[in-house]
Chains A and B, each alone.
Chain A
Amino acid sequence: MQSLEPYLAEHPFLKGMEKRHIELLVGCAANVRFDEGQYIFREGDEAKTFYFIRHGKLALEVFRPQKGPLVIQTLQPGDVVGWSWLFPPHFRHFDCRAVELTRAIALDGTCVRDKCEEDHQLGYEIMKRFAHLMGHELLALRLQLLDVYGEHA
């Protein structure tokens, strides 16, 4: 069976990470695929995993009663989906749907958390990368909130 190590090492999120840390993560990783329209998780689900997208496109949605889902962000190859596995109470905040056939590497959150507890250097590397990702997404969200194309912008 082919190892997922090269796929993890190639993913932009893990760029520059030491080989020994990648090897630790491989033990928590699984190759997954989602068909178009398939929901990967729903708001309120337990957040057990996060995903490194390799191909395809995912949409994060929030459901509005009587109006249906609203897409708040789309995610593409190179992106990471899911932070809720990092922090208690480990519940999903949004729905995530495959817009098209999507291939990803799923990481078991509990497994990664345990390895981070055992190896704080790995933990620091993971936290640094997630902090950067959160900062990046917070910036994008703030720009979206500005509604720069709106009538009163």
Chain B
Amino acid sequence: MENTLNNTTAQQGHAVGAMVPRPHVIKRVRRDTKDTFTIELVGAENPTGMFFSPGQFNMLYAFGAGEIPVSISGDPTKTKRLIHTVRVVGPVTRALRVLKAGDTIGVRGPYGTPWPVEKAEGSDVVLVAGGIGLAAIRPALYYLLANRNKYGKIALLYGTRTPADILYRSELESWRGRFDLEVDVTVDRGDSSWWGNVGVVPMLIPRAQFDPLSAVAMMCGPEIMMRFSVMALRKQGLTTDNIYVSMERNMKCAIGLCGHCQYGGRFVCKDGPVFAFDSIVDLFNKREI
């Protein structure tokens, strides 16, 4: 009994510390598309920055509006500035959008499981991103490119709604110019000015250059897109233990206490957001979850 009480007290102590947002000053705000923007933050108390692994997220607190989970979308080797790309979907993101350089927000984190970039060493890597999901994939790509000689072929497959919704367009164009990286972009709806692909992301998968017997796939985007992309990857011969998905649920506490993001017997905030697909395959198509 005593042990249980001590454990609980310790857990609560940890929880209290983990629940305190640290002030961060906005250094730059960039509008990416009509409904997304990127903010660059510097810790007011910790100017050396925040160490994080690709795939992790922070809780961003807009004072007076609330707190939301947002993937870290910057380079994990450049820790001084914390970079988040946000899509405007609700009151907190609307409050964040109107902030400008010099304003302060609260940040808790980093939280969650990372992309398996170390496990993927020696393998081909397929990154599949849909819409704002590219923001969560980008740190993994930075890492892979910084350690390029440790990997085989790398392919980034990205899909979004229209050409105007393409995130990080200039960076995508520069990545496309590399000889050691395959980048394929598609949109659901094109226009006469669009020279790229029109179609859905899963249709890019059969064209991508990778060895299915020695490849690791990392995927982030709407769940429907991921479901069909998993099917396409499996059709190419990838096994589910080499497919990783970043899940999104209603994350509130970010430390596995509140239960809002419960996903079967797991919590997305603590056990995810990055899951090996074979560890959640039974939950993935369950409609009640």
Chain B residue contacts of A148, Cβ below 8 A: 130-131, 188, 221-222, 224-225
Q: Which residue of B lies closest to A152 (CB)?
A: B89
- What string of 1s and 0s marks CB contacts (under 8 Å) between B18-53 and chain A? 000000000000000001000000000000000000
Least CB distance from B159 to A in Å reads: 8
Chain A residue contacts of B256, Cβ below 8 A: none
Q: Which residue of B lies closest to A69 (CB)?
A: B192
Interface of B is mostly: loop
- What string of 1s and 0s marks CB contacts (under 8 Å) between A61-86 and chain B? 10000001111111010100000000
**B122 at interface, CB cutoff 8 A:** no
Chain A residue contacts of B190, Cβ below 8 A: 59, 70-72, 74
A148-B197 Cα distance, complex, nearest whole Å = 17
Chain A residue contacts of B246, Cβ below 8 A: none
- What string of 1s and 0s marks CB contacts (under 8 Å) between A105-135 and chain B? 0000000000000000000000000000000
Instruction: Tally the A-B contacts, defined by beta carbons under 8 Å.
Output: 69
**A30 at interface, CB cutoff 8 A:** no
A70-B203 Cα distance, complex, nearest whole Å = 19
**Are A74 and B188 in contact (CB-based, < 8 A)?**
no
Chain A residue contacts of B186, Cβ below 8 A: 74
Chain B residue contacts of A76, Cβ below 8 A: 197, 207
Chain B residue contacts of A100, Cβ below 8 A: 195
Least CB distance from A43 to B in Å reads: 15
**A150 at interface, CB cutoff 8 A:** yes
17 A-B residue pairings within 8 Å (CB atoms) = A59-B198, A69-B191, A71-B192, A72-B198, A74-B190, A74-B197, A76-B207, A99-B195, A143-B200, A143-B202, A148-B188, A148-B222, A148-B225, A149-B161, A149-B222, A150-B161, A151-B89
Q: What 8 pairs between A and B have smallest CB-CB spacing?
A: A71-B190, A149-B131, A148-B222, A149-B161, A143-B200, A74-B198, A71-B198, A74-B197
